[in-house]
């Protein structure tokens, strides 16, 4: 029986490692004329600028790392040729250097050992750590098959460990970005249009006349290209319509703000359909040419009048009508934005379907100012043998559930890691790369149970995130500024590729993920899958296949390729959508055959009891997930989150501005730490709002520890979407605890 995996705080280890190799340089004060670097513009000699693409979020803006003659990183700026950023990084990208200079970084490989009956970590050499991992993998594969290894990942490092697992014989690879984030949206759009809106989204915001945001807070979610395009659209006079219980930044820039009662969005969407169809405002030519199921839809929404929706959503009927007419006026240059984080209430695929259907009624898909067709360039894989076929895969962990899950569902792999009698498919080892599962995955108890039962847990990260405390082996990855990486190949308006190369050599003993993967692979006898000396060789070969070279990319950082296919549907042309019938599915036969509603239906969701408020969470423009809360460049802008409370609620509770409170959810779970109260008219009286990603409880994150509150720990009730397994997280309610709930207690 495996020893209970005790949580170990990493801070005491790795202190003896070599000092950081580069620090941010100091300019002599007053030497104004000598400031050597120019943002975006001409490059001044004496300094180097090294191409990179950002890793602080998934937008992956191409940029330049500026390095002093002494080899220190001064700043990071955007690559002017990159359509994702147009030479302008967002605050997180500009502050990305804080990831590199973070004093709390992981410094050496660490191995879990038992010393005097206590579990602890000790520093290990790479050799020892890698041998240990390979040995354990062989042992697990010998007993349970190679399929018993799984990977949870986010961002660039994931690719190398996916390759490792695929070569070893497993495709149990999952990312929280599906079942905890964009999964419902992608599934809803695939079921309607035959394809998703991808990432970066193919929304033509730049040229739109009307942008409709449903709970999506562009400007606070700093998806760079979208924020830039929204600003451009505002300049050109576009109308913005925002549906949000909170006056988001985008809502404050909107012609219509619909301060909806949370959880009732589907009722509003149905009422909008009703107005468009029954006032004859929909795009008739488009619907008759490209869609099927219209008559059924018309019948379906007959009774969903704005007056009906008013009773559900609290949005006045006239506001519903006016906003629908505004969309129709702008059509087809209108976007009902699909959003991104869409795991809310458990009927999220249906809500995304409703959004997709509205786009169809307005004819926006395939039209200028609506949703365009992407084109990218395919980078061939470096030559390798075919991957072995696994005996079973993540689909088998679904156990007949979630028929439309087209990507692995994190939670079913976690389930499969908790052994039960008679279980056919069991997972015994995890790799976790670039995702802090403890904060990204709700249902903490299940996660803990699974981690306790594993035979191997390897965590690869740059920072001592909470998840590292549960690992058997912790491997320090170097930051994106210190490594070569896979090419960024983006499919959008124009096909582009971008290069990331090291601006400085890795600090401490940190290593790039490609190297870690290769080392483990070779130890497993999978050398044929890693038939190269280093990653430069891979890049050289790949770039040659697409008519470029490492030399060229080092110079330009980003390369554009000419488009070969049209961006929009040619006027009135015969166009086949990627659905089975080639038509837009207003009514989904696929869903019907699987036993789900063929057209979206509004279902009431539980509402908070007296004294409780719906917990709404979101983003701040200067932070990404939980990964930037320790970044010294960014915490200066926002050191912690606060809980937004409507003044009426504050008065009821006697709350003062900046008073510290603890939050307690409907199941009695109290937040680890207290959080400051922000009293603001920007939030509804039935809800509270916090920015996600704070309240770290891992002391080695010396800055982030104990600052603010972590929403994930308060999300103990999930509404699982039966269509694709998304974990709806907006059905949790909290109340205020005004006095220290754990007096004398330790966290």
Residues that bind another protein (CB under 8 A): 24, 26-27, 29-30, 32-35, 37-42, 74-78, 85, 87-91, 94-95, 97, 219-220, 222, 224, 227-228, 230-232, 234-235, 247, 249-250, 252-253, 257, 259, 621-622, 632-634, 636-638, 646-647, 680-685
CA distance linking residue 396 with residue 677, whole number of Å: 46
Judge whether 520 and 164 are in contact, CB under 8 Å.
yes
Partners of residue 211 on adjacent β-strands: 240, 335
HSE (side-chain half, CA atoms, 13 Å) at 257: 16
Least CB distance to another protein at residue 167 (A): 40
Least CB distance to another protein at residue 74 (A): 7
Q: 37 or 524: whose CB is closer to another protein? A: 37
Q: 260 or 460: whose CB is closer to another protein? A: 260
Least CB distance to another protein at residue 649 (A): 11
Which tokens hold the place of 145?
A: 């098959």
Q: 24 or 669: whose CB is closer to another protein? A: 24
Q: 41 or 554: whose CB is closer to another protein? A: 41
Q: 212 or 638: whose CB is closer to another protein? A: 638
Q: State the distance between the two ends of the chain, measured CA to CA, in whole angstroms.
A: 28
Residue 239 to residues 235, 366, 487, 636, 640, Cα–Cα distance (Å): 10, 20, 37, 34, 33
Least CB distance to another protein at residue 29 (A): 5
Apex CA 657: angle with CA 651 and CA 658, to 5°?
135
CA distance linking residue 590 with residue 353, whole number of Å: 13
Q: 78 or 495: whose CB is closer to another protein? A: 78
Q: 120 or 231: whose CB is closer to another protein? A: 231
Least CB distance to another protein at residue 35 (A): 4
Which tokens hold the place of 601?
A: 């239906």
Apex CA 159: angle with CA 158 and CA 164, to 5°?
95
Partners of residue 77 on adjacent β-strands: 64
Backbone angles phi, psi at 72, to 5 degrees: -100, 145
Residue closest to 727 by CA, chosen among 261, 158, 347: 347
> Residue 51 in 3-state DSSP?
strand
Query: What are the strands, taking DSSP E only, across 291-424?
Result: 291-292, 334-336
Q: 623 or 664: whose CB is closer to another protein? A: 623
Which tokens hold the place of 710?
A: 């972590």
Apex CA 107: angle with CA 445 and CA 92, to 5°?
75
Least CB distance to another protein at residue 33 (A): 6
Least CB distance to another protein at residue 39 (A): 4
Least CB distance to another protein at residue 226 (A): 10
Q: 97 or 432: whose CB is closer to another protein? A: 97
CA distance linking residue 543 with residue 499, whole number of Å: 10
Least CB distance to another protein at residue 724 (A): 32
Residues with Cβ < 8 Å from 327, sequence gap 6 or more? 210, 212, 241, 272, 276, 334, 336, 358, 362
Q: 592 or 648: whose CB is closer to another protein? A: 648
Residues with Cβ < 8 Å from 117, sequence gap 6 or more? none
Least CB distance to another protein at residue 166 (A): 37
Neighbours of 576 (CB within 10 A): 10
Looking up tokens 């996600």, which residue turns up?
692
Residue closest to 550 by CA, chosen among 504, 484, 611: 484
Least CB distance to another protein at residue 681 (A): 5
Q: 41 or 593: whose CB is closer to another protein? A: 41
Q: 27 or 594: whose CB is closer to another protein? A: 27
Q: 205 or 398: whose CB is closer to another protein? A: 205
Which tokens hold the place of 333?
A: 């240059």
Q: 148-161 burial, b if ≥16 CB within 10 A, otherwise e?
A: bbbbbbbbbbbbbb
CA distance linking residue 446 with residue 436, whole number of Å: 15
Judge whether 37 and 74 are in contact, CB under 8 Å.
yes
Least CB distance to another protein at residue 86 (A): 9
Least CB distance to another protein at residue 710 (A): 22
Judge whether 93 and 54 are in contact, CB under 8 Å.
yes
């Amino acid at each position: 029986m495996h020893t209970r995996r005790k949580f170990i705080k990493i801070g005491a280890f790795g202190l003896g490692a070599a000092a950081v190799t580069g620090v941010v340089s100091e300019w002599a004060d007053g030497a104004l004329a000598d400031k050597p670097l120019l943002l975006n513009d001409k490059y001044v000699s004496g300094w180097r600028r090294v191409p990179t693409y950002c890793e602080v979020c998934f937008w992956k803006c191409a940029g330049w790392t500026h390095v002093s003659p002494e080899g220190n990183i001064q700043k990071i700026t955007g690559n002017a040729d990159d359509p994702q950023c147009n030479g302008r990084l967002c605050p997180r990208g500009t502050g990305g250097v804080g990831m590199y200079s973070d004093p709390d970084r992981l410094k050496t490989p660490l191995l879990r050992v038992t010393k005097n009956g206590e579990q602890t970590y000790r520093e290990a050499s790479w050799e020892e750590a890698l041998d240990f991992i390979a040995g354990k993998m062989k042992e697990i594969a010998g007993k349970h098959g190679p399929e018993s290894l799984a990977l949870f990942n986010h961002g660039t490092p994931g690719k190398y460990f996916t390759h490792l697992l695929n070569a070893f014989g497993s495709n149990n690879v999952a990312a929280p970005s599906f079942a905890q984030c964009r999964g419902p949206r992608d599934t809803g759009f695939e079921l309607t249009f035959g394809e998703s809106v991808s990432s970066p989204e193919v929304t033509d915001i730049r040229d739109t006349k009307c942008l409709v945001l449903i709970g999506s807070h562009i400007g606070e979610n700093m998806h760079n290209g979208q924020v830039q395009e929204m600003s451009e659209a505002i300049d050109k006079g576009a109308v913005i319509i925002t549906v949000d219980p909170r006056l988001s930044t985008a809502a404050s820039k909107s012609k219509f703000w619909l301060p909806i009662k949370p959880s009732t969005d589907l009722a509003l969407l149905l009422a909008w359909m009703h107005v468009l169809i029954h006032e004859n405002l929909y795009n008739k030519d488009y619907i008759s040419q490209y869609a099927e199921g219209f008559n059924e839809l018309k019948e379906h929404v007959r009774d969903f009048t704005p007056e009906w929706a008013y009773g559900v959503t609290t949005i006045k009927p006239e506001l519903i009508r006016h906003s629908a007419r505004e969309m129709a006026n702008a059509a087809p240059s209108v976007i009902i934005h699909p959003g991104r984080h869409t795991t809310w209430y458990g009927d999220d695929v249906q809500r995304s379907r409703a959004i997709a259907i509205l786009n169809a009624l307005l004819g926006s898909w395939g039209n200028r100012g609506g949703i365009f067709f992407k084109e990218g360039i395919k980078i061939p894989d470096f030559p390798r043998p075919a991957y072995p076929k696994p005996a079973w895969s993540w689909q088998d962990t679904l156990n007949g559930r979630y028929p439309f899950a087209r990507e692995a569902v994190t939670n079913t792999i976690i389930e499969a890691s908790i052994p039960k009698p008679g279980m056919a498919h069991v997972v015994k080892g995890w790799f976790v790369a670039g995702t802090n599962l403890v904060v990204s995955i709700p249902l903490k108890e299940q996660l803990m149970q699974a981690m306790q039962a594993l035979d191997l847990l390897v965590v690869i990260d740059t920072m001592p995130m909470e998840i590292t405390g549960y690992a058997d082996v912790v491997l320090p990855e170097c930051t994106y500024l210190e490594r070569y990486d896979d090419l960024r190949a983006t499919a959008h308006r124009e096909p582009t590729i971008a290069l990331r190369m090291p601006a400085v050599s890795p600090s401490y003993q940190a290593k790039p993920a490609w190297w870690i993967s290769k080392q483990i692979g070779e130890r497993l006898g999978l050398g044929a899958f890693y038939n190269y000396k280093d990653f430069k060789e891979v890049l050289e070969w790949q770039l040659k296949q697409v008519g470029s070279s490492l030399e060229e990319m080092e110079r330009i950082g980003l390369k554009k390729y000419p488009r070969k296919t049209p961006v929009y549907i040619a006027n009135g042309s015969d166009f086949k959508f990627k659905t089975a019938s080639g038509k837009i599915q207003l009514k989904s036969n696929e869903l019907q055959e699987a036993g789900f509603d063929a057209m979206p239906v509004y279902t009431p969701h539980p509402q908070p009891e007296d004294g409780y408020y719906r917990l709404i969470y979101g983003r701040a423009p200067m932070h990404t997930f939980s990964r930037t809360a320790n970044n010294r460049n960014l915490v200066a802008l926002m050191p912690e989150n606060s809980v937004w409370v409507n003044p009426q609620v504050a008065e009821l509770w006697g709350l003062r501005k900046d008073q510290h409170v603890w939050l307690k959810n409907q199941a009695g779970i109290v937040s680890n730490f207290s959080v400051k109260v922000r009293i603001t008219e920007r939030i509804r009286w039935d809800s509270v709002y916090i920015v996600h990603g704070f309240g770290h409880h891992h002391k080695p994150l010396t800055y982030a520890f104990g600052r603010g509150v972590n929403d994930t720990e308060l999300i103990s009730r999930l509404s699982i979407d039966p269509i694709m397994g998304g974990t709806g997280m907006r059905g949790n309610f909290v109340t205020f605890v005004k006095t220290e709930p754990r007096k004398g207690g330790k966290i």
